[in-house]
Amino acid sequence: FYTDWHYAAISLLTSIEGYDTIDSIASYLNLSRAKVASAVEFMIRAGLIVEEQGKLSMGSKSTHIDSKS
């Protein structure tokens, strides 16, 4: 999640009205649809983003970086 800026940007954008699809996020961030789709797929599996009825929103999981990392 913290390996590249676009993960955090995508996650945060899903909390803003109008940025609830892969296409709207890719357009806003000027990223390819494939890159955003791949990141969204990962974040859905990790519980960081939720997809309901084709719309994306922030998930309920929080992120934590261990002090030893």
Q: Would you give the DSSP letter of residue 33?
A: H
pTM above 0.85, yes or no: no
What's the pLDDT score for residue 8? Answer: 92
CA distance 60 to 57: 10
What's the pLDDT score for residue 14? Answer: 95
What's the pLDDT score for residue 65? Answer: 56
Identify the residue whose tokens are 């494939």.
34
What's the pLDDT score for residue 60? Answer: 74
Q: What is the pLDDT along the chain (69 residues), one digit of tens a residue?
A: 567 899 999 999 999 999 999 999 999 999 999 999 999 999 999 889 999 999 999 987 665 555 665
Q: Residue 52 to residues 15, 30, 35: CA-CA distances in angstroms?
A: 14, 24, 21
Q: Residue 4 to residues 7, 8, 10, 11, 65: CA-CA distances in angstroms?
A: 6, 8, 11, 12, 15
